[in-house]
Amino acid sequence: MARRTTELGRGIENAVGWTIRNLDGVVALGAALIIGALDVFGQQIDDNVTSGATLLVLAALVFGTLTERRRRVSDIRTAMTGTKHALEDLTMVRSLSGAELERALDRARLSTDRWVFKGGTGTYLRAVTLPVCVREAQHQRRSLAMKIDIVNPADEQACAAYARFRQTFAHRLHVVPPEAWSADRTRKESFATVLAACWYQQRLDTLEIDVYLSSVVPTLRFDLSGSCLIITQDDPQRVNLLVERDRPLYDYYVTELHQSREQAHHLDLARTEPLSEEPTVDEVLRLFEGLALPLPAAFTDRDVGDIIDKALHAENPYRR
C-alpha cells in the first residue's frame, strides 16, 4: 500500500511538473477545447467572448514560441560551453619534436622535487635524468623523491618481448643498430638501472628512491615531474607529448602510473650493500643477492662489469 502511495505521489509530481513546463500549451489547448465544446453543443457564444478566446489562444501560442526560442538559445549556449570545454581538453596536450623535447625535459628536471618514470629499461634515465636531478637536489639542498618502473630483469619472457619490440622498430633509428637489442641486453639494462638507483641513493641522504619491476612490456616512456608530464617513444624523430600540471590529464596519469606500480614488484632498497665510487664485481653480486634479485648464474665477471659501466657511465642514447 505504501509503495502504491509513493508511486502515485511521484506520478502526480511528474504531471504537475510537466504542466508547469508546458503551461503555455496547456492554456491554449484548454481555451480552444472549451470554445470548441460550447460551439459543438449549440451554446450561443458572444462574439466578444469568441474574439477574446481567440486572442487568448494566439497569445498562449506566441508565449509558447518565445519560450521555446529561449530554450533553444539556452541549449545552444550549453552546447557551446561543452564545445569550449572539449577544445580546452584538446589543448591539454602539446606536441614536442626535436630540440623542443630536450628543452622541456631540461626545464622539468631543474625545478622538480619529484620524478616518476615508467618505461623499458631506463637507459636515458640513467644517462641524463637521474644524475641531473640528483645534482640539482644537491645544489639546491632539497629533497628528491623518485619512483622508477622498468621491465623486470628476472622475467625472461618480458625481457624477450621488450627486445622484440625494440628490434621491430630499430630500423627507423640510426643511432642503434637493429641487432643490438636482445633479451640479454634488456636484462643488463634493467639491472643497471637498479644498480644506479642504489648507488645514487647512498650518495644523497635526501634522495628517496623506489624501484618497481614490471612484467608488462611498455611501448611508451613516461617522465612525470612536479610541473609536467612528458610522454615519449624510443624514436626521437616521432612527435612527443607534454601535459602541464594544471591540466586534468596530468592528474589522470598520476593515478594511472600509481596503479601500474601497485601491480609491479617493489624492490626494498632500504638496506643495500655499500657501494664504492667504482663498485667491484663482488659488491654488485652481494647487492643483488641482498635485494633478492640475484644476477643470472650464466653472467660472467665481464657481464657484471658491463652492468656497472651501464649504471654509472651511461651515454645519452639519443645524442647526435
Asked if residue 206 belongs to a domain, the reply is: yes
Q: 90, 120, 135: which is the final residue of a domain?
A: 90
H-assigned helices in the chain? 2-21, 23-40, 47-90, 99-110, 123-124, 130-140, 156-170, 183-201, 248-262, 281-290, 301-312
Q: 55, 90, 125: which is the final residue of a domain?
A: 90
Asked if pLDDT for residue 273 goes beyond 60, the answer is yes
Asked if residue 107 belongs to a domain, the reply is: yes
Q: Both 241 and 276 in a single domain? A: yes
Task: State how many domains the chain has.
Answer: 2
Band (178; pLDDT cuts 50, 70, 90)? very low
Q: Cell numbers 601491480 correspond to what residue?
A: 263
Asked if pLDDT for residue 265 goes beyond 90, the answer is yes
Q: What is the pLDDT of residues 217-249, one digit of tens each?
A: 999 999 999 999 999 988 767 789 999 998 999
Q: Both 75 and 210 in a single domain? A: no
Which tops the pLDDT comparison, 219 or 63?
219
Cα gap 130→122, rounded to integer Å:
10
| DSSP character string of 78-143 | HHHHHHHHHHHHHTTEEEE-THHHHHHHHHHHHT-SEEEEESSS-HHIIIIIHHHHHHHHHHHT--
Over the chain, what is the mean pLDDT?
Answer: 81
What is the structure's pLDDT at 161?
A: 96
> Cα separations (Å) of 101 from 72, 160, 223?
46, 29, 12
Q: Both 44 and 102 in a single domain? A: no
Q: Both 191 and 58 in a single domain? A: no
Cα dihedral value 159, 164, 169, 175, nearest 10: 60
Asked if residue 317 belongs to a domain, the reply is: no
What is the structure's pLDDT at 318?
A: 72
Q: Both 100 and 236 in a single domain? A: yes
Q: Both 118 and 256 in a single domain? A: yes
Q: Both 113 and 208 in a single domain? A: yes
Of 35-44, 159-168, 186-195, highest mean pLDDT:
186-195
Band (146; pLDDT cuts 50, 70, 90)? very high
What is the structure's pLDDT at 98?
A: 80
What is the structure's pLDDT at 236?
A: 67
Asked if pLDDT for residue 29 goes beyond 70, the answer is no
Q: Both 242 and 124 in a single domain? A: yes
What is the structure's pLDDT at 22?
A: 58
**Mean per-residue pLDDT, 133-158:** 95
Q: Both 103 and 50 in a single domain? A: no
**Mean per-residue pLDDT, 148-170:** 93
Q: Both 213 and 268 in a single domain? A: yes
Q: Both 213 and 299 in a single domain? A: yes
Q: 90, 124, 159: which is the final residue of a domain?
A: 90
Q: What is the pLDDT of residues 86-117, one digit of tens each?
A: 444 556 788 888 889 999 999 999 889 999 99
Band (256; pLDDT cuts 50, 70, 90)? very high
Q: What are phi and psi of 70, to 5 degrees?
A: -65, -40
Cα gap 275→200, rounded to integer Å:
10
Asked if residue 103 belongs to a domain, the reply is: yes
Asked if residue 319 belongs to a domain, the reply is: no
| Residue 225: domain span | 96-312
pLDDT over 90 percentage in the chain:
56
Asked if pLDDT for residue 79 goes beyond 60, the answer is no
CATH number for 154: 3.30.870.10
Band (168; pLDDT cuts 50, 70, 90)? confident
